[in-house]
């Protein structure tokens, strides 16, 4: 939530207050000017039957002016109170969200420990880092080098992505390394953030802030495994769509990915809308707008 400075917070209130005072001073000045420039002995004001009317006029005019100023200040006060109430509500919302979100991140560590324990007991690896190393070796041993060059069309890149997904799926099947539930947990943590802020005016800024915190909880090996897993069948939703893959691409989840961890340097093109930090200016120009 944006924290307003004292000047921003009370700027309108101050301007309207000064405007009201200026109007009051202006009317008083007119009355004083009128009083100083009028020859009371020769004017109709000197007549007894008009003096009462003059008093009524002055008191009525000043009364209406003061009533207007009072009403204006009441409106300003109510507007400011409403604004403060909204800010308090937003702060409470953010506090509730952050409490739940950081609890989810705490559980992420426990989920990772559970995955590592299962891998150690049921597969050839002891943890997710070994899992990544084994996957890299598996890809190299397959002798199915999948590279993307500048001449490849979008359709060809999609085909290569599907081919890469097949290799990942074969790897999981051959080595009994089923860790999809760990990445499902990451997906639901990510969606918790998106669902909370996607309708806000500054949605991208807020979502990026919390997703960066989530990224920081993952090692390079975990990030790279997620990179390849998210477009495989293990990341499909109940309708068979790659919602996770599209969400990761849309919100630049892999922008800080270590390029050296990829199985091929050109694989970054599997996520066509992501502006990786390692891209040069020419490469950034080719990134598609979502």
Alpha-carbon distance 266 to 279, whole Å?
11
Q: Residue 179: how many CA atoms within 13 Å on its side-chain side?
A: 34
Q: Which residue pairs from 173-180 have beta carbons closer than 8 angstroms and sit at least 24 positions apart in sequence?
A: 174/138, 175/123, 175/124, 175/125, 175/134, 175/138, 176/122, 176/123, 177/119, 177/123, 177/125, 177/131, 177/134, 178/234, 179/115, 179/118, 179/119, 179/128, 179/131, 179/225, 180/229, 180/234, 180/235
Alpha-carbon distance 131 to 116, whole Å?
9
Kindly list the distances between the CA atom of residue 182 and the CA atoms of 76, 198, 227, in Å, as whole numbers in the listed order: 52, 24, 13
Q: What is the pLDDT of residue 18?
A: 73
Q: What is the pLDDT of residue 190?
A: 93
Q: What is the full per-residue pLDDT of the chain (290 aa) written as tens digits?
A: 444 455 555 666 676 667 767 777 777 777 676 666 655 555 555 555 555 555 565 566 667 767 777 777 787 778 778 878 888 888 888 899 999 999 999 999 999 998 888 888 877 788 899 999 999 999 999 888 899 998 899 999 999 999 999 999 999 888 877 788 898 899 999 999 999 998 888 888 889 889 999 999 999 999 999 999 999 998 888 888 999 999 999 999 999 999 999 999 999 999 999 999 999 888 888 888 76
Alpha-carbon distance 239 to 220, whole Å?
30
Kindly list the distances between the CA atom of residue 248 and the CA atoms of 163, 235, 236, in Å, as whole numbers in the listed order: 20, 12, 13
Alpha-carbon distance 82 to 80, whole Å?
5
Q: What is the pLDDT of residue 178?
A: 72
Q: What is the pLDDT of residue 7?
A: 55
Q: What is the pLDDT of residue 143?
A: 82
Alpha-carbon distance 210 to 187, whole Å?
13
Q: What is the pLDDT of residue 189?
A: 93
Residue 64 CB neighbour total at 10 angstroms: 11
């Amino acid at each position: 939530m944006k924290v307003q400075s004292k000047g921003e917070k009370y700027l309108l209130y101050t301007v309207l207050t000064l405007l009201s005072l200026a109007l009051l001073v202006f009317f008083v000045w007119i009355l004083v000017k009128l009083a100083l420039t009028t020859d009371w002995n020769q004017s109709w004001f000197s007549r007894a039957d008009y003096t009462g009317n003059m008093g009524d006029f002055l008191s009525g005019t000043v009364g209406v002016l003061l009533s207007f100023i009072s009403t204006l200040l009441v409106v300003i006060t109510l507007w400011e109170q409403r604004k403060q109430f909204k800010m308090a509500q937003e702060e409470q919302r953010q506090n509730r969200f952050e409490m739940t979100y950081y609890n989810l991140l705490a559980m992420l560590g426990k989920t990772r420990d559970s995955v590592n324990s299962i891998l150690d007991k049921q597969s050839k690896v002891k943890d997710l880092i070994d899992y990544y190393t084994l996957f890299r070796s598996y890809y190299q041993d397959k002798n199915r080098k999948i590279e993307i060059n500048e001449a490849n069309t979008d359709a060809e890149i999609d085909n290569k992505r599907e081919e890469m997904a097949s290799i990942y799926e074969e790897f999981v099947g051959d080595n009994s390394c089923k860790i999809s539930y760990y990445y499902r947990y990451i997906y639901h943590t990510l969606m918790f953030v998106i669902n909370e802020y996607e309708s806000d005016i500054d949605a991208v800024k807020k979502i990026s802030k919390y997703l960066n915190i989530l990224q920081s909880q993952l090692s390079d090996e975990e990030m790279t495994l997620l990179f390849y897993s998210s477009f495989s069948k293990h990341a499909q939703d109940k309708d068979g769509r790659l919602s996770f893959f599209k969400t990761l691409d849309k919100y630049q989840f892999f922008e800080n990915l270590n390029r050296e961890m990829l199985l091929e340097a050109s694989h970054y093109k599997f996520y066509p809308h992501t502006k990786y930090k390692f891209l040069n200016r020419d490469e950034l120009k080719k990134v598609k707008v979502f």
